[in-house]
Amino acid sequence: MYQPRLSMVQAISSPFSRNAAIALSEADLLHEVITTIAYDPKGSIAHYLNLLPKTMGNRLNQELGRRTWTVPKNGIIRTHISKEVVRLALGKTGLYRHLGWSCYGRIDWVYASLDRHAAKHHLQGIDAVYAYEDQAATTFQAAKQQGILCLYDLAIIFYRLSRDIQVQEAERFPELTPALIAAKEPAWKIERKEQEVQLADHIFVASSITRKSLLDVGVNQKKISIIPYGAPIDYFQPQPKTDQKFRVLFVGRVSPRKGVHYLLQAWQELQLPDAELLFVGSNQFPDGWLDQYQDLFRHIPSVPHFSLNKYYSSGSVLIFPSLVEGFGLVLLEAMACGIPVITTPNTAAPDIITDGIEGFIVPIRDVEALKEKLEWCYRHPQELAEMGQAARRKAEQLTWDLYRQKLAGRVRDILENQTS
């Protein structure tokens, strides 16, 4: 019996791309993963890092840990590292400023390079290619010419809706425009995104909001599959809260795209006694913008992912008022830790929680709704704890195992229909 062969193109390692690769490998479909840097924490490089001075070794381990790829069975990992090494070097040394490159410009350069490399060197002898946003256009064009099936994974809402929301936000808050990237995407990048969606034979999304963003631009609903991501219940666990303070936790990039400015307004107006607002993540607001609120919150910059459990467990509730998302993995991480959530429909909330059971779903940009739910949480500690228990139970139902089973089954169905 003929076994289809599929290659994955993904520049970075993320929980969803790693689990997609594992799913395809376990289903005996994966031929190879084409990426930039692939780190094996059990490999020889990890061994040599342990021989370095502790501070240096830990820093390198943390950096490389974000690039971990471990694919079981027969999957092969192919690396195309040169552009990514240059990008990292430019970022660490600050030389990119002299070249006039932004952070996102450097990332786009790496993605486009990997896309061209995959199109030229990695389409031989395969039946399908599975690729991600901004790194699929050239590969899909070449694949189409060879009769290779093009599968597309869109992790965030399609750029048109993202652009519209961020343009509106820039009009509301002109001073935040520099941090609203999608409001000023270059024409060539927009054209690539359009090409990718048009060329894709099938599109995988993780949420209803991402599906809607595609339907709104005329994509056939039969071309789209929704498979929500999984909760990391194996390494995020409920832990006892070590104090009695009501603590509202935000985890992620502290930015206007995440709706943090609305949260700050709500928190400022509430003036809850003996309560804390804690941000965990890098500040991506324009320089100095957060200073006006500096007495309202405590901020911890980016921390290693494995250490997030203690921060989640220190919170009474996670708040994630994002305007543009697709799927907020932090929601499932918090739920796995037994923490209820307050979030918006644009984060996949309707796909993973029931409003009022594991948390609350509020409209984007709605300061009054944020205030109402935050105050309810503050005034009802017992009910909030029960909501956290319900959140953990729901997380136990939404596992990465389930995601892998659904993805592998859907890909196999598509491949079989293609060849029948």
The one-digit pLDDT tens for each residue of the chain (420 residues) are: 568 899 999 998 889 999 999 999 999 999 999 998 877 666 655 555 565 566 655 665 666 666 777 766 666 888 888 787 777 776 666 665 666 666 667 888 889 999 999 999 999 999 999 999 999 999 999 999 999 999 999 999 999 999 999 999 999 999 999 999 887 888 888 999 999 999 999 999 999 999 999 999 999 999 999 999 999 999 899 999 999 999 999 999 999 999 999 999 999 999 999 999 999 999 999 999 999 998 999 999 988 888 899 999 999 999 999 999 999 999 999 999 999 999 999 999 999 999 999 999 999 999 999 999 999 999 999 999 999 999 999 999 999 999 999 999 999 999 988 765
Beta strand spans in 104-255 (E): 128-132, 149-154, 202-205, 224-226, 246-251
User: What pLDDT is stored for residue 47 in this prediction?
Assistant: 52
Q: Is residue 256 part of a domain?
A: yes
296, two tokens: 């309202």
Q: CA of 151: how far to CAs of 88, 132, 205, in Å?
A: 29, 9, 11
User: What pLDDT is stored for residue 80 in this prediction?
Assistant: 85
Do 213 and 265 reside in the same domain of the chain?
A: no
8 Å CB contact between 195 and 133: no
User: What pLDDT is stored for residue 253 in this prediction?
Assistant: 94
Q: Is residue 240 part of a domain?
A: no
How many CB atoms lie under 10 A from the CB of residue 64? Answer: 18
Do 182 and 308 reside in the same domain of the chain?
A: no
Q: Is residue 173 part of a domain?
A: yes
> Would you say the C-alpha torsion 82, 87, 91, 95 has a positive or negative sign?
positive
Q: What is the DSSP string of 17-48?
A: HHHHHHHHHHTT-EEEEEES--B-TTSHHHHH
Residue 42: name the closest of 71, 70, 13, 22 by CA: 70
Range of the domain at 410: 6-230+400-419
CA dist., res. 278 & res. 365, Å (int): 20
What does pTM read for this prediction?
Answer: 0.91
Do 286 and 159 reside in the same domain of the chain?
A: no
